[in-house]
């Protein structure tokens, strides 16, 4: 079995693996490159993928960097099924429809300028109708219900604990007459966090394709992160100030709301107005409520008993642009949660322009900030930033809370891999910037005495060519890592 990387090679976006066996060709994920205009120009389906002759797509989860090129795949002639869990399908619909709306809107604006300059109009990358075709091809997969893609190819989805519906995918083929199991990690969540179940234990593998987004470090502990979050909210209540939280609509927003609910319920903080100013985050939160049965049992109970609704009695959802604009005149203390998570688009931009130059404003960064994003500039402490083309001086207090990440840190990645290391599987590290993958490779070598491959874009790897476990490299006490 061979895999070829068409994304997420020495970077964290664009996940797309072409898998080829003697009798099968399929993709695992078909995600979008994101972050900068240059990255986004790479969003196409390479001819080598040969979309018309693919049997299927196996989708790990609904984040855009894993599903965002599916509409392009349809345009390139793909006709097969797209397998995903029901939760993933709902999230992917939401994210793809939103992306199509943004593409069409941006292109329309750009074309008005081009028309005035006498230039040819551009086509959006994909349109709503292309997303509709993706939706028609989705097929629901249940966790732990293996199914045959072909007589000689079995697929099983298990919980990855990353976002609603996220999965690691086990693929069993036959190599030289023997079963050969390849595990695709997808994106892995942290252990022991609210909302999501822990990543499920996978006991054996011949090859492991794993993400390394935070392969170089551990996050701050959740308890410390929650305490820090709580202290900021308490201070804001005392000072009657505003808190802005740029947040990713899917996953992070629900985590933040969960922790606010807990603070209010326990009486640790006086309940203050919480404005959820993002139509997409509002829809995603509803989807989370709808799929409470596949989430952590604690949150399932809080939802079914109505407790969560009581805890969040001060939550106000802002669907319309008018509701969003009205927040400019709202006085603190209050919390505004708005997208986009990296402060590179969306309603958070208006709130930042309006509030960053006030010293009684708090901005809490709760997720990964890519190079070049406004969020990164804020985290790096720039005294002045550009917001919507305007220079704004930063007098607000900027706090960065890494512990709410939906991604496993290094220790969690090793913990997930450990039960699979007995047979010395081939390990392929993807979905990480170079130094993150290399740090994880070093940690794997220290702990398990095994080498990893860190492939480049379009590299093809023959997974059947396994590495030996190097006994002499095993540490005396592996539990110290």
The one segment of 63-71, 86-94, 288-296, 462-470 that binds Zn ion by CB under 5 A: 63-71
Compute the least distance from the CB of residue 471 to Zn ion, in Å.
36
Q: Which is nearer to Zn ion, 324 or 410 (CB)?
A: 410
Measured at the alpha carbon of residue 333, what is the angle toward residues 328 and 338, in degrees to the nearest 5?
50
- CB of 66 or CB of 242, closer to Zn ion: 66
User: Which CB, 63 or 69, lies closer to Zn ion?
Assistant: 63
CB 162 to Zn ion: min, Å: 6
Pairwise CA distance, residues 93 & 111, whole Å: 27
Q: Which is nearer to Zn ion, 318 or 408 (CB)?
A: 408
Cα separation, 268 vs 125, in Å, equals 47
| Minimum CB–partner distance for residue 418 and Zn ion (Å) | 22
12 versus 302: smaller Cβ distance to Zn ion: 12
Q: Which stretch binds Zn ion (CB under 5 A): 60-68, 100-108, 278-286, 303-311?
A: 60-68
Binds Zn ion by CB under 5 A, chosen from 10, 63, 252, 447: 63
Span near Zn ion by CB under 5 A; candidates 57-65, 383-391, 450-458, 464-472: 57-65
For 33-47, b/e burial (b = at least 16 CB within 10 A) is bbbeeebeeebebbe
Q: Which is nearer to Zn ion, 250 or 374 (CB)?
A: 250
Distance, CA of 357 to CA of 113 (rounded, Å): 32
Q: Please give the order of strands across the beta sheet that includes 82-85.
A: 138-141, 82-85, 56-58, 25-28, 17-20, 2-5, 460-462
Distance of closest approach, residue 188 Cβ to Zn ion, in angstroms: 9
DSSP-derived secondary structure for 102-128: HHHHHHHHHHHHHHHTTPPPPPPS--H
- Kindly indicate which of the ranges 7-15, 55-63, 287-295, 465-473 contains the residues binding Zn ion, using the contact rule CB under 5 A: 55-63
Nearest to 425 by CA among 481, 454, 459, 465: 465
Q: Which residue is listed with tokens 């599903």?
A: 67
CB of 187 to Zn ion, least distance (A): 4
Identify which of 42, 60, 14, 4 has the alpha carbon closest to the alpha carbon of residue 431. Answer: 14
Which range binds Zn ion by CB under 5 A, 56-64, 194-202, 345-353, 362-370? 56-64
CB of 383 to Zn ion, least distance (A): 33
Distance in Å, CB of 66 to Zn ion, minimum: 6
Q: How far apart are CA 117 and CA 110, in angstroms?
A: 11
Long-range contacts of 445-451 (CB under 8 A, 24+ apart): 445/473, 446/475, 446/481, 447/414, 447/418, 447/475, 447/478, 447/481, 448/417, 448/418, 448/421, 448/474, 448/478, 449/473, 449/474, 449/475, 450/421, 450/424, 451/427
The conformation of residue 47, written as its DSSP 8-state character, comes to G
Give the total of residues touching Zn ion (CB under 5 A).
Answer: 2
Smaller CB distance to Zn ion: residue 213 or 399? 213
Site for Zn ion in 148-187 (CB under 5 A): 187
SS3 148: strand
- When the beta carbons of 213 and 324 are compared against Zn ion, the nearer one is 213
CB of 78 to Zn ion, least distance (A): 22
Q: Which two structure tokens, joined as six digits, stand for 476? A: 């005396």
For the beta carbon of residue 384, count every other beta carbon within 10 angstroms.
11
Q: How far apart are CA 356 and CA 375, in angstroms?
A: 12
- Sheet of strand 334-338, all strands in order from the earlier edge strand to the far edge: 315-317, 274-277, 334-338, 242-246, 361-365, 397-400
For the bound state, the minimum distance from the C-beta of residue 320 to Zn ion, rounded and expressed in Å, comes to: 29
| Least distance from Zn ion to the Cβ atom of residue 240, Å | 37
Cβ distance to Zn ion smaller for residue 62 or 279 = 62
Q: Of the two residues 254 and 324, which places its CB atom closer to Zn ion in the complex?
A: 254
Instruction: Give the shortest CB-62-to-Zn ion separation in angstroms.
Output: 8
Identify which of residues 243 and 249 has a Cβ nearer to Zn ion in the complex: 249
CB count in 10 Å sphere of residue 298: 11
Is there binding between residue 10 and Zn ion (CB under 5 A)? no
**Interaction site with Zn ion (CB under 5 A):** 63, 187
């Amino acid at each position: 079995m061979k895999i070829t990387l068409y994304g997420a090679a020495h970077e964290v976006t664009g996940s797309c693996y072409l898998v080829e066996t003697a009798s099968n060709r399929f993709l695992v994920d078909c995600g979008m490159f994101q972050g900068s205009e240059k990255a986004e120009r790479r969003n196409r389906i390479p001819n080598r993928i040969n979309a018309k002759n693919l049997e299927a797509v196996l989708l790990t989860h609904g984040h855009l960097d894993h599903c965002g090129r599916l509409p392009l795949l349809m345009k390139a002639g793909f006709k097969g099924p797209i397998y995903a869990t029901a939760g993933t399908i709902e999230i992917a619909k939401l994210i793809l429809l939103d992306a199509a709306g943004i593409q069409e809107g941006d292109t329309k604006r750009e074309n008005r300028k081009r028309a005035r300059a006498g230039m040819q109009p551009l086509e959006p990358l994909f349109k709503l109708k292309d997303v509709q075709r993706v939706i028609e091809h989705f097929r629901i997969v249940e966790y732990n219900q293996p199914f045959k893609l072909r007589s000689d190819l079995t697929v099983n989805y298990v919980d990855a604990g990353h976002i609603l519906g996220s999965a690691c995918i086990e693929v069993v083929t036959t190599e030289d007459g023997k079963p050969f199991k390849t595990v695709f990690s997808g994106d892995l969540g942290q252990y022991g966090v609210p909302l999501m179940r822990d990543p499920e234990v996978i006991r054996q593998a011949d090859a492991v394709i794993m993400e390394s987004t935070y392969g170089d470090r551990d996050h701050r502990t959740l308890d410390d992160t929650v305490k820090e979050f709580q202290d900021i909210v308490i201070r804001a209540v005392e000072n009657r100030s505003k808190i802005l939280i740029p947040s990713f609509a899917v996953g992070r927003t629900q985590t933040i709301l969960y922790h606010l609910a807990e603070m209010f319920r326990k009486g640790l903080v006086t309940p203050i107005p919480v404005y959820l100013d993002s139509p997409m985050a509002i829809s995603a939160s509803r989807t989370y409520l709808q799929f409470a049965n596949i989430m952590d049992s604690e949150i399932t109970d809080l939802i079914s008993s109505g407790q969560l609704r009581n805890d969040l009695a001060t939550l106000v959802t802002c669907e319309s642009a008018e509701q969003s604009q009205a927040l400019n005149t709202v006085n603190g203390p209050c919390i505004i949660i708005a997208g986009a998570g990296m402060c590179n688009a969306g309603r958070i931009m208006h709130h930042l322009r309006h509030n960053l130059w006030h010293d009684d404003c708090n901005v809490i960064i709760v997720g990964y900030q890519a190079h070049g994003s406004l969020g990164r500039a804020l985290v790096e402490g720039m005294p002045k930033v550009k917001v919507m083309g305007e220079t704004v001086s930063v007098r607000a207090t900027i706090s960065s809370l890494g512990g709410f990440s939906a991604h496993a840190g290094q220790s969690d990645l090793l913990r997930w891999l450990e039960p699979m290391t007995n047979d010395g599987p081939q390990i392929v590290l993807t979905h990480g910037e170079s130094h993150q993958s290399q740090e994880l490779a070093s940690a794997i070598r220290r702990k398990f005495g095994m080498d990893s491959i860190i492939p480049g874009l379009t590299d093809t790897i023959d997974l059947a060519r396994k590495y030996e476990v190097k006994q002499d490299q095993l540490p005396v006490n592996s539990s110290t890592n």
